[in-house]
Chain A
């Protein structure tokens, strides 16, 4: 199976779930998926295509929260990034993919605590990185984050 077959295969299987395909370069493709369909597409990419789960990365965009799930199909040297956009006006939640692949367990915990996205069905959504005295409901990588600890010596950066 080469690159074209893989992309055509995904397109045909999930035609109703794909919002947009951005064919960036020979080694990169970004596929935007409807949030409700993410789990089944991710499962197919991981189990069906035999891709490796690299990592997920969450970004706070101005009007939506964006999560990218990066997969690598090693045989054809292609990174498939599944993009979902979560509306900020609604509760930030999406189906967890950790029950399908153990590899996604930790990163979902990380995104949960730094961006406040709720992963439904995650087996163990405890804190991973933040200290125990970090207040609930404060998410450090959100755009509207404000320093809460007046005693902290931190680089407050550029406003």
Chain B
């Protein structure tokens, strides 16, 4: 059969981050993949050099609408690494609470989307309904459902009020029962096993070679988590476990994220119950010349910022490395050889800021349009239907 080229992307009206994939398929099997990014390259690194250290926090917060805490967290830690500054205990706890809240809402968002692409719209609705609880909790804590604007070099901008804590705990406590039910429904479903087990396997060797991060690496048996390897915030005091599985397929990536949700809830609750008293800001007067590195574990993996200061109030160079930059190239190792109806879920499994499926267009080699992205999602959903029968 003749090879067919499938362009996917670059724009999608619902989600951020446009990307462009070119899948080459032979019959139903994917034989090659190429990724083109850069459609959303806004020159944040350059922009950050024009802002003061205080303003840059707001700029990097807008890199991603989902990871709106990860980038400020990594950036402030890089600035604190230049000085070096010790952040007050209370600020460390507040930072940890906000970062874990973000992880919970990010993982739930991914879970809902993954359910949708597999044709499990019930999972999608349950997960996103559950996500509302954590967003409400974040609104109580920070005043915002997203883009919390809580971070600044040296500490946090806003304190957590003691009287808010019971309401937040109540919101958080309402998550685990539904999540347990959802976890049982998802992990016991034979159709879902058929759709995700042994699909899109990222081997341990490939995970190391690509330097994959976060849940993508941990599902392949690579035990990497900045929160354990290089503890920051309150992660070395809270009791929690790193979730590592061995198979590296889509199912394991799902399991890692669902189990991490429970760990995040544990950390968040512990921090809220043990919040120490004291200052929330180290009050940095000036940043000396030098260079610093900030690493934190974002929901998708390690977020890395490198900052050079020349002694002025602006960074002389600011390098941002988001986790998807390292995880995205692993497609090459996971999608090739798989069936085209599985391509959507494999692409979704690393949890990129997901954007492409509904803009998928299948073309034959002459460029004649054969079917659209909606058809590809339908194709994926039909496969599930077929297995159900």
A53 & B211 in contact (Cβ 8 Å cutoff): yes
B321 & A55 in contact (Cβ 8 Å cutoff): yes
Q: A57-B306, A128-B37 are in contact. List 18 more A-B contacts (CB 8 A).
A: A28-B293, A30-B291, A55-B319, A55-B325, A57-B317, A59-B316, A70-B293, A72-B229, A72-B295, A79-B295, A81-B293, A102-B329, A103-B211, A105-B329, A107-B321, A128-B38, A131-B38, A157-B46
Q: Which residue of A lies closest to B82 (CB)?
A: A24
With an 8 A cutoff between CB atoms, is A15 at the interface? no
With an 8 A cutoff between CB atoms, is B50 at the interface? yes
In the complex, what's the smallest C-beta–C-beta distance from A113 to chain B, in angstroms?
A: 9
Chain B positions 324 through 338: 1 when the CB is less than 8 Å from some CB of chain A, otherwise 0: 011011001000000
Q: Please classify the interface of chain A as helix (H, G, I), strand (E, B), loop, or mixed, using the class held by over half of its residues.
A: mixed
Instruction: State the CA gap A149–B226 with chains docked (Å).
Output: 42
B46 & A140 in contact (Cβ 8 Å cutoff): yes
For B328, the chain A residues whose CB sits under 8 A away are 106
Q: Which residue of B lies closest to A53 (CB)?
A: B211
Cross-chain contact of A130 among B41, B302, B306 (Cβ < 8 A)? B41
Cross-chain contact of A27 among B41, B209, B230, B291 (Cβ < 8 A)? B230
Q: Which residue of B lies closest to A158 (CB)?
A: B50
Q: Which residue of A lies closest to B307 (CB)?
A: A57
B304 & A55 in contact (Cβ 8 Å cutoff): yes
For B302, the chain A residues whose CB sits under 8 A away are 54
Q: Which of A106-128 contact B (CB under 8 A)?
A: 106-107, 127-128
A141 & B304 in contact (Cβ 8 Å cutoff): no
B306 & A68 in contact (Cβ 8 Å cutoff): yes
Q: A106 with B329: in contact, given A25-B84, A141-B45 (CB under 8 Å)?
A: yes
With an 8 A cutoff between CB atoms, is A74 at the interface? yes
In the complex, what's the smallest C-beta–C-beta distance from B178 to chain A, in angstroms?
A: 35
**A-B pairs with lowest CB-CB distance, top 7:** A103-B211, A129-B38, A57-B319, A157-B50, A55-B321, A129-B41, A53-B211
For B224, the chain A residues whose CB sits under 8 A away are 52, 74
Q: Which residue of A lies closest to B306 (CB)?
A: A57
Q: Which residue of B lies closest to A22 (CB)?
A: B291
For B316, the chain A residues whose CB sits under 8 A away are 59
Cross-chain contact of B210 among A25, A102, A141 (Cβ < 8 A)? A102
Instruction: State the CA gap A63–B43 with chains docked (Å).
Output: 24
Interface residues of A (CB under 8 A from B): 25, 27-28, 30, 52-55, 57, 59, 68, 70, 72, 74, 77, 79, 81, 101-103, 105-107, 127-131, 140-141, 154-155, 157-158
Which residue, A53, A55, A141, A157, has most C-beta atoms of chain B within 10 A? A55
For A52, the chain B residues whose CB sits under 8 A away are 208, 211, 224
In the complex, what's the smallest C-beta–C-beta distance from A78 to chain B, in angstroms?
A: 9
With an 8 A cutoff between CB atoms, is B308 at the interface? yes
Q: Which residue of A lies closest to B217 (CB)?
A: A52
For A155, the chain B residues whose CB sits under 8 A away are 47, 50
For A107, the chain B residues whose CB sits under 8 A away are 321, 325
Instruction: State the CA gap A55–B47 with chains docked (Å).
Output: 20
For B325, the chain A residues whose CB sits under 8 A away are 55, 106-107
For B304, the chain A residues whose CB sits under 8 A away are 54-55, 70
With an 8 A cutoff between CB atoms, is B136 at the interface? no
With an 8 A cutoff between CB atoms, is B358 at the interface? no
Instruction: State the CA gap A44–B329 with chains docked (Å).
Output: 23
Q: A77 with B319: in contact, given A52-B224, A106-B329, A141-B46 (CB under 8 Å)?
A: no
Instruction: State the CA gap A101–B212 with chains docked (Å).
Output: 12
B326 & A103 in contact (Cβ 8 Å cutoff): yes
Q: Which of B35-65 contact A (CB under 8 A)?
A: 37-38, 41, 43, 45-47, 49-50
Q: A79 with B45: in contact, given A54-B302, A105-B329, A106-B329 (CB under 8 Å)?
A: no
For A141, the chain B residues whose CB sits under 8 A away are 45-46
With an 8 A cutoff between CB atoms, is B81 at the interface? yes
Q: Which residue of A lies closest to B40 (CB)?
A: A129
Chain B positions 170 through 211: 1 when the CB is less than 8 Å from some CB of chain A, otherwise 0: 000000000000000000000000000000000000101111
Q: Which residue of A lies closest to B47 (CB)?
A: A155
In the complex, what's the smallest C-beta–C-beta distance from B325 to chain A, in angstroms?
A: 7
A54 & B321 in contact (Cβ 8 Å cutoff): yes
In the complex, what's the smallest C-beta–C-beta distance from B164 to chain A, in angstroms?
A: 34
Q: Which residue of A lies closest to B208 (CB)?
A: A52
